[in-house]
Structure 1
Amino acid sequence: MTRSRTAATFSPPVMEARRWLDGVTHPADRPLINVSQAAPVAPPPHALRAALADIVMQDSDAHLYGPVLGLPALRDEIAQQWTRAYGGSIDPGQVGITSGCNQAFAAVIAALCDQDDEVILPVPYYFNHRMWLDMSGVRTIPLTCGADMVPDAAAAASLITDRTRAIVLVSPNNPCGVEYPAATLRAFLDLARARGIALIVDETYRDFDSRTGAPHDLFSDPHWDDTLIQLYSFSKAYRLTGHRVGAVLTNPGLMAEIEKFLDTVAICPNQIGQRAALWGMQNLSQWLAGERDEILDRRAAITDHFPALAAQGWKLLGVGAYFAYLEHPFAVSSHDLARRLVTDAGILLLPGTMFMPEGDTAGESQLRIAFANIDRAGIATLFDRLAKVAV
C-alpha cells in the first residue's frame, strides 16, 4: 500500500494532548486548568445568538448553497471595514470567505504551490500550517526567530530558493503571542516583492492586538495585492468557532485559483455562519471592544504574576493576544514535563516541541499557555501551581 498524503505529517497536537487526560481524575479542590487551546469555549453573545435564531427561521437562503467565494454583503463589509482600519483601498473582489482560517491557508497554498515547492515558516510555528504543507507535498523551510521571537527579513532572504513560493507570518503570533512591529512586516513585504514570492500574513488575532490604530501599513501600498495575502478568522472575535467562517484577501487572479479549491472542498462557506459574522461586524463593535479589554487585562495578569516564576529560573519569551510562551528551567523535555503537569499540577498545556521541526531542540525547554479562557483569578492559580512544580 502506498504512503498517503495524510501519513506525511504528524497527528494533531491538541488531540494528542487531550488524550493525556484519559484515566486521570482531578480532585474537587484542584480542578483541571485547561490552557491547551485558544478557541473560545463560551457561545456567542446573547444578541448574536438571537440574530442566529432569526436567521435560521426567517432567511430561507441561509439553508441553500451560496456563492463559492462567500456572501457578497460580507465581502463588501470586510472591504469597507478593512479600508477604514488599515488605510489604502480594498475592493470586495479582493476578499473571499472561507470555512475558517485554516481552510483559507489551505486554499492559498493549493493555489500557490506545486509538489516539492517551499514555504518559509518562522519557528516556533503554528502546527496546522506545517501539517498542511506536509500533506500538500510542500517543504517547510524553518526560519529561526531571535530571543524576542520576532523573525528577521534579512535572515529569511538567505533561505529563498527558486522553489520558494511564500513566507508565512502570524501576528499577533501563535504560539508566542508577540505582535510583530510594523517595520518587520514592511521589511518582509519588500523582500517578498523583490524576490517574486507571496507574503501570507495570518491575522486571526488582530482584534486583540494591544496597539491602537493599524498594526501595519501594508494595505496602504496601492499595489499590496501583488504580494500580500491576508488571512482572518471570525472564530475568535465573535465566538463563532463551530460555524467555521474565515477570510482571505488577495488579488482577483489568485482569488480565481482559490475559488477552484473552495468549490471542490466545501462548495460554499457556512451560510448561517456568514450571516452571523456580518451581523457581528455591523452590530457588535462595542461588545468586541470589551472582549479586547478583557483579553488585554488577562495579558497584564500574566506579566503581573510572572515574577514568581522568574525567581525560579523561568523566562517569559512572549505574551500577547491569547498566548504566553515560556521557557522552563528543568532538565527535562517540555513534552515530558507537559504530560507530568496533567497529573502533578492539574494543568493541560502544550509543549514547545509541538511547534518545532524535527531536530530543533529549542522546543525542549518551551511551553505554550493559551490563557484566553481563564480569568485573572485563574491565571493566579495557574502560576501558583507552576511555581510549586519540582522536577
Structure 2
Amino acid sequence: MPHFNPLIARLSPPPVPSVLAWGKEYDGARGPRIDLSQAVPGYPAHPDMLAWLGEAAASPAYTGYGAIEGEDVLRAAYATHVSGVYGASVTAENIHITSGCNQAFISTAMAIAGAGDKVLMTNPFYFNQETTLSMLGIGVELVPCDAALGFLPDIDAIASALKPGVRALALVTPNNPTGSVYPPALLRRIFDLCRTNGTWLILDETYRDFLPEGSGAPHDLLTVEGWQDSLVCLYSFSKSFCIPGHRLGAITAGPALVEQVAKIMDNLQICAPRSAQAAIARALPALDDWRAGNRAEITRRAEALKQVMSGLKGWKLQAIGAYFAYIRHPYPDIRSEFVAEKLAKIAGIVCLPGDYFGQGQEGYLRFAFANADVPTILQLEERLSNFNLPGI
C-alpha cells in the first residue's frame, strides 16, 4: 500500500464533483436539471471582457513571467477600486493578486500561521478554508453561529474563543454557505477584539459586489489607524466578471504581509494569470454599470427564491444573501447528504448538503441560487412540493 501525507489522506474528496455526479444520474422526468451546487455566475461575461481577454492572451507581452505580486496596472486599478468602495486610502503596495480567492486564503494562512497554531472559524464554515488549514496542520477551533441569530456569531462567543495564541479569525461575508451578511458594526466589534488579542482578522469578501443596492461600505475597517497590522481582506474577480475559469483573486493587506505572501506565491505559482490581470485592469472602471445590472439580477433571483420558499410546507428558508440560501429540509432525522443525493437523482435539483459545512448542519441544504434564472428558480416550488424521500 502506498503511503501518503496523513494530513491530506484523511480529507474527504472534493465535494462539488461528488454532488455533480449525483445529478448525472437524474433521468429528466421532472424537467431539465436545476444546478444549484457550485457558486458560478448564471450568465456570461460581458462581450468587452471577452474581447479584452482574447486580446491580452494573444499578446506576446503576457506570455512570460510577471511580477509575483501582480501586474502593476491591476494592483493600481484594484487599489483605486477598494479605496472607493470603503472610503479608505489603499495603495498598490497593499494589493497582492492571486490565482483565485482560495489561493489568496492559503497564502494568507501560510503567512500568518504554522503547523500547530490555532485559527478560529465559524460553524458553519466554507469547507475549502477548513480543509486548507487542516492540510497545513493548523488547528481549527469553531465559533457556533445559531440560526436564531441569522447565522451570525455571538460577540461574547468570539470574545471567549479569542484565547492567547490564536493566530487568526477567518470570516466570510456575505457568508458561504448561509448568505448571511455581517453588519459593519459587528465587524468593527470583532476587529477590535482581534486587535486586543493580537489576532489577525481574515475577511473573505468574495461576494461583496452582490450586496443590495444602497448598502454602503461593507465595513469601516480599512479606515482604522494601523489596520495593516491586523487585517487581511480577500476578494475574487470570478463572480463579478464571470471568469471563474481564469482564476483571479486579490489580497488587501499591509505591505509587510504582502511581502510574506510573495515568498509563498513564488513557490505556489510565481504569478497569477497575466492576460486575465490585464483584462480585469481595463474592466474594473469600465464595466461598473454592467456589474450593477448583474447585482440587480441576483436580487431578483433571491426574491424569486423567497417567493418559492414561502409557499412550501416543511421547507424553511433559514438565511439568504448574495449567492446563497441556507434551507432547512423537512426531514429532521435524516442527514442532509442523503436528502441532497435523492433531490439530485429524483427531482433533478443539485445542491450541497449542510453536512459539508460543519457538525450540526445535517438539517440544512445550500442552494447557490445565483446559478439559475428567475423562471428556473420558480420551478423549484413544484419540484420540492412533490418531492418525497423513498420509504418515508
- Category of TM-score, reference length = shorter chain: over 0.9
- Within the alignment, does 1:384 sit opposite 2:372 as a pair? no
Distance 1:211 1:169, change over 3 A: farther
Tell me the amino acid that sits aligned with residue 326 of structure 2.
Y
C-alpha deviation, 1:211, in angstroms? 5.0
Match of 2:227 in 1: 224
Which of 302, 305, 309 matches 2:305?
302
CA contact (8 A) 2:22 2:345 kept: no
Using the alignment, how far apart are the partners of 1:184 and 1:175 within structure 2? 19
1:252-271 pair list within 5 angstroms = 252-271=255-274
Using the alignment, how far apart are the partners of 1:3 and 1:102 within structure 2? 21
Q: Which stretch of the first structure deviates more once superposed, 170-179 or 10-19?
A: 10-19
CA contact (8 A) 1:88 1:221 kept: no
CA contact (8 A) 1:44 1:239 kept: yes
Match of 1:79 in 2: 79
Match of 2:134 in 1: 134
Match of 1:292 in 2: 295
User: Structure 2: which 5+ residue stretches go unaligned?
Assistant: none
CA contact (8 A) 2:56 2:276 kept: no
1:194-343 pair list within 5 angstroms = 194-212=196-214, 213-309=216-312, 312-330=313-331, 331-343=333-345
SS of the equivalent of 1:20 reads helix
Using the alignment, how far apart are the partners of 2:357 and 2:280 within structure 1? 30
C-alpha deviation, 1:390, in angstroms? 2.3
Using the alignment, how far apart are the partners of 1:21 and 1:345 within structure 2? 9
Tell me the amino acid that sits aligned with residue 140 of structure 1.
V
Using the alignment, how far apart are the partners of 1:130 and 1:104 within structure 2? 14
Kindly tell me the number of residue pairs found equivalent between the two proteins.
Answer: 383
Q: TM-score, normalized by length of structure 1?
A: 0.95
Match of 1:184 in 2: 186
CA contact (8 A) 2:100 2:249 kept: yes
Q: TM-score, normalized by length of structure 2?
A: 0.94
Which of 355, 358, 361 matches 2:357?
355
SS of the equivalent of 1:364 reads coil
Using the alignment, how far apart are the partners of 1:277 and 1:234 within structure 2? 8
CA contact (8 A) 1:96 1:255 kept: yes
Match of 2:37 in 1: 36
User: Structure 1: which 5+ residue stretches go unaligned?
Assistant: none
CA contact (8 A) 2:162 2:194 kept: no
CA contact (8 A) 2:100 2:238 kept: yes
C-alpha deviation, 1:22, in angstroms? 4.6
SS of the equivalent of 1:21 reads helix
SS of the equivalent of 1:183 reads helix
C-alpha deviation, 1:259, in angstroms? 0.6
